A = this chain, B = another copy of it.
């Protein structure tokens, strides 16, 4: 064995310290083509690489919707044909420092939040949140869905972009780490419960939003949209998680997991010391609570980049901070506490900034260590939304899911190869 235990430990400490030291700040909101250089008929999607023919219903629905939204096709059929014929290039959000919830589809003209890591300089991205139910990220693409996206792009995005610029000018921009830390003391897990974060956001942006120069009616519509959607901050929270994990990525010898993500077909991970190689296995189907009229039979296998929150030490890992979440994802309050307790077994550290009041202000479990997952047999627990398995329908519930053990086994084998360990 050429790599000592001390070397790995040191690498892991470095990776997780960098995760915790990362300081993502919201700096802009503008089209992906402009901020991320996405050109032509390219669509980014959640999870590991995926071909159209392997895509699940909701992922296909989101791709169809995005193609119509971009004007590449007029009908579902035309959009599907473009995809089938390879006219639409698919690529992973994570290959572009982005993270999108559920299907996570980002098309060139969609506005994306841009976050800058003030500590390490990285820039990360996410799209805007549409709300729950019949929405693109859950595979719906009706006129109503696309009209909402157009209104968000044409009306909400310019107001929020101007707000971000105002905040940046006045005081360096909206800092995400303190906001997430605060929200974790306010009953959010910051994956599937974003009530506090969205409220804090509304409170903090108000002084700047009112000075953007937009007319009162527009400002009112935008404020009403934020007030009406408690998931408003999910996407920016994910971009923050991406910044944190990216800061911990590419540390030689490190066995810390820096991406966990699902595309509705496969679930895959990255490991800090193994670069951008995906280790993927079949995505599991979540368990949870169902919206009226739906059952487990309607559920698609898990999808979304949103498990970047758990990778960064919040989300499901901070369930103990968010007992009220069980009314949304199911389970019991004790179960929520148990999840957090369990995750300490597979993580490197207790977060220095993300504290859980109910555990006597103990830091959240952060930095999934590949070795500990294999040793304990405990896999990371994710809070998640549940999409209908057919395209065009949307969200049918919310719940929890465990990441498949196979990806950790495969990654460990690769690690042994790579480092002759």
B358 touches A323 (CB 8 A): yes
What is the bound-complex CA distance between A226 and B8, given in angstroms?
A: 48
Most interface-central of A188, A220, A360 (chain B CB within 10 A): A220
Which among A203, A326, A357 has the highest number of chain B CB atoms within 10 Å? A203
Which residues of chain B are near A360, meaning CB under 8 Å?
332-333
By a beta-carbon cutoff of 8 Å, the part of chain A in contact with chain B is 182, 185-188, 195-196, 198-200, 202-204, 206-211, 213, 216-217, 219-221, 223-224, 226-227, 323-324, 326-327, 332-333, 357-358, 360-361
Choose among B206, B213, B324, B361 the residue that contacts A202 (Cβ–Cβ < 8 A): B206
A333 to B185, CA, bound (A): 13
Say yes or no: A216-B226 contact (C-beta < 8 A), given A357-B187, A360-B332: no
Task: Please give, as numbers and ranges, the residues of chain B lying within 8 Å of A332 by CB-CB distance.
Answer: 360
Known contacts A332-B360, A360-B332; A203/B227 CB under 8 A: yes
Instruction: Given the known inter-chain contacts A196-B186, A358-B323, please indicate yes or no for A216 contacting B211, CB distance below 8 A.
Output: yes
A-B contact list, 16 entries, CB within 8 Å: A185-B324, A186-B187, A186-B195, A196-B196, A199-B199, A202-B202, A203-B227, A206-B209, A206-B223, A206-B224, A209-B223, A210-B210, A210-B216, A323-B358, A333-B358, A333-B360
**How far, in angstroms, from A132 to B198 measured CA to CA in the complex?**
25
A316 and B202 CA atoms in complex are apart in Å by 28
Closest to A188 in B: B186
In the assembled complex, the Cα of A227 lies from the Cα of B167 at a distance in Å of 14
Measured CA separation A182–B193 after assembly (Å): 13
A36 to chain B, nearest CB (A): 29
Tell which of B188, B203, B217 touches A226, judged by Cβ atoms closer than 8 Å: B203
Measured between beta carbons, the chain B residues less than 8 angstroms from A216 are 210-211, 213
How many copies the complex holds: the figure is: 2
How far does the alpha carbon of A298 sit from the alpha carbon of B186 in the complex, in Å? 32
Instruction: Determine which of B185, B188, B220 lies in contact with A210 in the assembled complex, contact meaning CB atoms within 8 Å.
Output: B220
Closest 10 CB pairs of A and B: A199-B199, A202-B203, A323-B357, A206-B223, A210-B219, A207-B224, A185-B324, A324-B357, A207-B223, A186-B187
CA distance A217 to B211 in the complex (A): 7
Once A185-B187, A186-B187 are accepted as A-B contacts, the answer to whether A223 and B210 lie under 8 Å apart by CB is: yes
Instruction: Check if B211 sits within 8 Å of A203, measured CB to CB.
Output: no
User: Contacts A186-B187, A323-B357, A324-B185 hold; do A220 and B195 have CB atoms under 8 A apart?
Assistant: no
Tell me, in angstroms, the Cα distance from A308 to B183 when the chains sit together.
27
* Other A-B pairs, 17, CB within 8 Å; known A206-B209, A209-B210: A186-B186, A186-B324, A198-B203, A199-B199, A199-B200, A199-B202, A202-B202, A202-B206, A206-B226, A207-B220, A210-B219, A213-B216, A323-B357, A332-B360, A333-B357, A333-B360, A358-B358
- Cα A354 to Cα B284 with chains together (Å): 37
Chain B residues, Cβ within 8 Å of A185: 187, 324
Q: Which residues of B contact A361 (CB under 8 A)?
A: 327, 333
